[in-house]
Amino acid sequence: MRFDVITLFPELFGPFLSHGINRRAFESGQVQVRLWNPRDFAEGNYRRVDDRPFGGGPGMVMMAEPLWRCLQAVREDRAEAGEALAPVLLFSPAGEKLDHTGVQTWSDSQGAVLVCGRYEGIDQRFIDACVDRQLSLGDFVLSGGEVPAMALLDAVARLQPGVLGDEGSHQQDSFNPALDGLLDSPHHTRPEVWQGPQGPMPVPAVLLGGHHEHIARYRREQSLLATARSRPDLLQSARSAGRLGARDEAFLRQHGLL
């Protein structure tokens, strides 16, 4: 799959694409990433890409024309490479929230063109004419779309075969259907007893016993507890969809969580 990123700051992506375990996806070409700077398609000696908003107000607005020329170049390059016409995504507070289901969809796709806005935003005419979907990481505002673009690329990359050291790793991720959309359970590693700031803190004994069925049940119960306490909305969705078993329901009642 191929993602073309339109950004005024392509240099931000260099370290991201070349470090960490997910770099395997980018270096192998499983997830191709091309960076495009709209300033390269602007006119004049100063290569201006923004201007003051009509009607007044603070800040600057990215101009439609350099973005449009950049997008045309992306489409021509994709066509020459035999790539399919890709949807154009804009990262914006007005967009739909990106979740695991959305990441899985993009992970199984042919890719997209990711538009990273800056300043006060982008000329609405470009959005109306060229953008297919808008995505958001949550109800807060960032300085630009680069961080959300990296978040999407990171989430997509780790779902590609062979990228993670253990093929089953992402199956145990929070929100994964393998966990019925619940949060993941807590994790522990060596030493068995950590001398923490409040005294000795041992690993839960069940994790040391080697009884796989008991460990699996413990992790399921911890997942239920974590979800009930931190994201009760996810727990309610799982219940409504019939993804909780009788033992799950009994455990939650026992702890006063239903």
Residues serving a catalytic function are 93, 120, 158, 173
Q: What is the DSSP letter of 96?
A: E
Q: How far apart are CA 128 and CA 107, in angstroms?
A: 26
Q: How far apart are CA 33 and CA 25, in angstroms?
A: 10
Torsion of CA 245, 251, 254, 255, to 10 degrees: -120
Q: What is the DSSP string of 175-225?
A: T-GGGTTPPPPP---S-SEEEETTEEEEPPGGGGS--HHHHHHHHHHHHHH
226 contacts 186 by C-beta, under 8 angstroms: yes
Q: Which two tokens stand for residue 25?
A: 């996806």
